């Protein structure tokens, strides 16, 4: 196990804002994410879930305010990884995709074959190792994207609506993997549209609305009795405008 110097946790946002061409996407977010069970972001479309995840990952910088990882402002994403909603496969085989991820994470050449086998086994793609990655189904590609992310041996794993385009069987496969990953001590931060999925996976809920965190708290408590009006209406299935 490789440990880079310094930890990426806790991730801290201090009054972070993000606006683009005049429109405000994130409107003053302050939060601290530490180790623990999965944190799930929920909220209507356009509430800023994707932008928030990308900012926490470090892909975009806040236009105001600051984000720090383990207290550091410009920490490169060495121990963080992200799975996008529609992952892009490299034009090579399944295992070559993993080798690429391992090599960009600095894993020694000799150690790669073993890690590739382990990861493929974990996500259930061992039989497809030699196939062109672009020929895989949506669910298989998502699993490969997950394996690529795990190849970086991350402390924090971000997932942006990972099952939004998948059928129920593939969805279950992904959710099971997320559970396994969380049990291994990796901090999972994900967004979802599916309240059922949130119920199944979340340890903590963050409700976003119009670029602000409206409610935050332990999942059980939220689903039993949301504290805010937006929370109640969102759970009831109303459209939050």
Partner 1 sequence: MPTDIPVVDLVLRADPELLAIVRLSLAVSLAAVACAAALALPLGALVALTRFPGRDATIVALNTLMGLPPVVVGLAIYLLLSRSGPLGDFGLLFTPQAMVIAQAVLVAPIIAALTRQTIEDLWLEYCDELAAMHVAPVQRVRTLLWDARFSLLTALLAGFGRASAEVGAVIIVGGNIEGHTRTMTTAIALETSKGDLPLAIGLGLVLMAIVVLVNALAWGARRAGERLAG
Partner 2 sequence: MSSHAARITPARMSLLAVLAVCLVAWPAAGEDRSIVVASTTSTQDSGLFRHILPLFKAKSGIEVRVVAQGTGQALDTGRRGDADVVFVHARALEERFVADGFGVQRHPVMYNDFVLIGPKQDPAGARGTSIAAALQAIKATRASFISRGDRSGTHAAELRLWAMAGIDIARGKGPWYKDIGQGMGAALNAAAAIGAYVLADRGTWISFRNRGELAILVEGDARLINQYGVILVNPAKHPHVKKEWGQAFIDWLISAEGQKAIAGYRIDGQQPFFPNATRPGG
Q: Which residues bind partner 1 (CB under 8 A)?
A: 57, 59, 76-78, 81-82, 84, 87-88, 90-93, 96, 100-101, 104-105, 131-135, 148-149, 152
Q: DSSP letters of 114-130?
A: HHHHHHHHHHT-GGGTT
Residue placing its CB nearer to partner 1 in the complex, 159 or 177: 159
The token pair that represents 111 in the structure block: 């150690």
Q: Supply the angle between the helices 112-123 and 168-183 in degrees, to the nearest 10.
A: 130
68-97 residues in contact with partner 2 (CB under 8 A) are: 92-96
**Smallest distance from partner 2 to CB 96, Å:** 6
How far is CA 152 from each of CA 12, 18, 206, rounded to the nearest angstrom?
22, 28, 26
What is the C-alpha separation between 188 and 182, in angstroms, rounded? 6
Handedness of CA 219, 222, 227, 230 (dihedral sign): positive
**Smallest distance from partner 2 to CB 112, Å:** 10
Among 33, 83, 102, 116, indicate the residue that binds partner 2 (CB under 8 A). 116
- Eight-class DSSP state of 10: S
**Smallest distance from partner 2 to CB 99, Å:** 7
**Binder of residue 104, out of partner 1, partner 2, none (CB less than 5 to 8 A by kind):** partner 1
Q: Largest Cα–Cα distance in the chain? A: 56
Contact between residue 152 and residue 105 where contact means Cβ atoms under 8 Å apart: yes
**Smallest distance from partner 2 to CB 106, Å:** 19
Reduced to 3 states, what is the DSSP secondary structure of residue 159? strand
Residue placing its CB nearer to partner 2 in the complex, 51 or 95: 95
**Smallest distance from partner 2 to CB 142, Å:** 21
**Smallest distance from partner 2 to CB 118, Å:** 14
**Binder of residue 113, out of partner 1, partner 2, none (CB less than 5 to 8 A by kind):** partner 2
130 makes contact with partner 2 (CB under 8 A)? yes
**Binder of residue 223, out of partner 2, partner 1, none (CB less than 5 to 8 A by kind):** none
**Smallest distance from partner 2 to CB 95, Å:** 5
Q: DSSP letters of 191-225?
A: E-S-HHHHHHH-SEEEEEETTEEEEEEEHHHHHH-
Reduced to 3 states, what is the DSSP secondary structure of residue 72? strand
**Binder of residue 95, out of partner 2, partner 1, none (CB less than 5 to 8 A by kind):** partner 2
Reduced to 3 states, what is the DSSP secondary structure of residue 234? helix
**Binder of residue 226, out of partner 1, partner 2, none (CB less than 5 to 8 A by kind):** none
Binding-site ranges for partner 2 (CB under 8 A)? 92-96, 99, 113, 116, 129-130
């Amino acid at each position: 196990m490789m440990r880079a110097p310094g930890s990426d946790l806790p991730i801290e946002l201090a009054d972070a804002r993000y606006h683009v061409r005049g429109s405000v996407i994130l409107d003053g977010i302050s939060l601290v994410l530490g180790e623990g069970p999965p944190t799930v972001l929920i909220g209507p479309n356009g509430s800023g879930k994707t932008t928030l995840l990308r900012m926490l990952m470090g892909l975009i910088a806040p236009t105001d305010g600051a984000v720090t990882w383990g207290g550091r402002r410009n920490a490169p994403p060495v121990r963080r990884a992200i799975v996008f909603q529609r992952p892009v496969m490299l034009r090579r085989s399944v295992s070559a995709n993993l080798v690429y991820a391992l090599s960009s994470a600095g894993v020694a050449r000799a150690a790669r074959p073993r890690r590739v086998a382990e990861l493929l086994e974990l996500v259930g793609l061992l039989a497809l190792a030699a196939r062109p990655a672009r020929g895989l189904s949506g669910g298989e590609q998502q699993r490969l994207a997950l394996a690529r992310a795990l190849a970086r041996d991350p402390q924090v794993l971000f997932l942006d609506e990972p099952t939004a385009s998948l059928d129920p069987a593939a969805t279950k496969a992904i959710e099971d993997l997320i559970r396994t990953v969380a049990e291994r001590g990796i901090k999972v931060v994900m967004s979802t549209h599916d309240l059922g999925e949130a119920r199944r996976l979340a340890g903590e809920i963050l409700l976003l609305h119009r670029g602000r965190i409206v409610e935050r708290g332990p999942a059980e408590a939220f689903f039993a009795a949301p504290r805010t009006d937006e929370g109640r209406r969102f759970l009831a299935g109303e459209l939050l405008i």
